[in-house]
Amino acid sequence: MLSYTPTPVQEIRDETLHRAGVRLLVKREDLNHPLVSGNKWWKLLYNLKEARRLGKPTLLTFGGAYSNHIYATAAAARELGFGSVGIIRGEATQPLNATLQFAQQQGMRLQYISREDYRQKDSVAFQERLYRQYGDVYIIPEGGTNALAVQGCMEFARVLREISFDCVCLAVGTGGTMAGLIDGLDADKRILGVSVLKGDFLEAEVKRLITGSVADNWSVLTDYHHGGYARATPALLAFMRDMERDHDLPLDQVYTAKLMWAVLREAAKGAFERGTTVLAIHTGGLQGRLSESLLRPFGA
């Protein structure tokens, strides 16, 4: 299966954290694999094993034009000898952005569908059409989130048990990683999700995905999306540059910058008790920085 490199824990020392009496650690899961990085490695782990067990020749999945999951699935398929198909929300635009260009280079067939059709992607009728069109494919949901993804993230939670912390924070897009951590960590650990999407629906989605835990030790923050999915404000981009310059911590504008922004502002507001150790999960996705509009600010 996919190779995995054990990842370090990096401490962030900042005046805001010092005043708040909070210690901040970052689990650098962006370093676990050169292409299938961060939480995507864990979410794909058991899906890839199941596809292999069933003898499926091709992986088919869904995502937007900047999807980390599309990028990771294409790379995993190439490494393990699967074919791959990406059903992409929206119209094709040329030239392809860095994410879709990479996916195509890995051999992924890209099919663009309207947003209206995309909303039907989980229906039986829509998926039957996909089977007729692409044959004996193994379908992975948007973002890789299903029961097998939650199982993989529960395994990641067991890795985190080796670290001493009080609260774990992570960016949330579809809820699978957070559900796995809730199921896999002890109830005395606080789990704080930072939604990268507009709206307050993710808490209900996480509840749906949780398999065994009844703990109430978790919550989702919904005020740090900076305009919505794959959107970024000038302030957020400046924050990314500052974090890389001051702390040697590369972030992406879709997920991890919003996470770190939220953690520091929550600390400044006194949301964490003094003496709290916060563990932030770096979920990868750094290839998202390669979009043309971000190349110049990051010195590329």
Are 118 and 78 found together in one domain? Answer: yes
Are 127 and 158 found together in one domain? Answer: no
Are 69 and 138 found together in one domain? Answer: yes
In a domain, 1, yes or no: no
Strands 167-172 and 277-282: parallel
Contact criterion met (CB below 8 Å) for 195 and 221: yes
In a domain, 275, yes or no: yes
In a domain, 72, yes or no: yes
CA pair distance 101, 106, nearest whole angstrom:
9
Are 168 and 267 found together in one domain? Answer: yes
- Domains in the chain, number: 2
Are 289 and 155 found together in one domain? Answer: yes
Are 115 and 138 found together in one domain? Answer: yes
In a domain, 233, yes or no: yes
Task: Residue 118: give its domain's CATH number.
Answer: 3.40.50.1100
Q: What is the structure's pLDDT at 290?
A: 56
Are 195 and 290 found together in one domain? Answer: yes
Q: What is the structure's pLDDT at 118?
A: 96
Are 132 and 220 found together in one domain? Answer: no
Are 24 and 46 found together in one domain? Answer: no
In a domain, 47, yes or no: yes
Q: What is the mean pLDDT of each run of 10 residues along the chain (300 residues)?
A: 95 97 98 97 98 98 93 98 97 89 97 96 96 97 95 97 98 96 96 96 94 87 93 94 97 96 98 98 87 42
Q: In whole angstroms, how far apart are CA 12 and each of 36, 161, 241, 243, 262?
A: 25, 20, 15, 9, 14
Are 65 and 111 found together in one domain? Answer: yes
Are 164 and 203 found together in one domain? Answer: yes
Task: Name the residue among 269, 282, 290 with its Cα closest to residue 16.
Answer: 269
Which of 116, 144, 172 lies at the terminal end of a domain, its last residue? Answer: 144
Determine the 3-state secondary structure of 212 from DSSP. Answer: coil
pLDDT in tens, 224-265: 999 998 889 999 999 999 999 999 999 999 999 999 999 999
Tokens of 231: 């959107």
Query: Residues near 194 by Cβ (< 8 Å), separated by ≥ 6?
Result: 169, 170, 171, 172, 220, 221, 224, 258, 259, 262, 263
Are 198 and 240 found together in one domain? Answer: yes
Contact criterion met (CB below 8 Å) for 160 and 80: no
Which of 82, 113, 144 lies at the terminal end of a domain, its last residue? Answer: 144
Q: What is the DSSP letter of 255?
A: T
In a domain, 238, yes or no: yes
Q: What is the structure's pLDDT at 256?
A: 97
In a domain, 2, yes or no: no
Q: Which residues constitute the domain of residue 59?
A: 39-144
Which of 144, 170, 202 lies at the terminal end of a domain, its last residue? Answer: 144
Q: What is the structure's pLDDT at 59?
A: 98
Percent of the chain past pLDDT 70, that is, above it, reads 96
pLDDT in tens, 180-202: 999 999 999 999 999 999 999 99
Predicted TM-score (pTM) of this structure: 0.93
Mean pLDDT across the chain? 94
Task: Name the residue among 7, 4, 12, 51 with its Cα closest to residue 277.
Answer: 12
Residue 240: what residue type? M
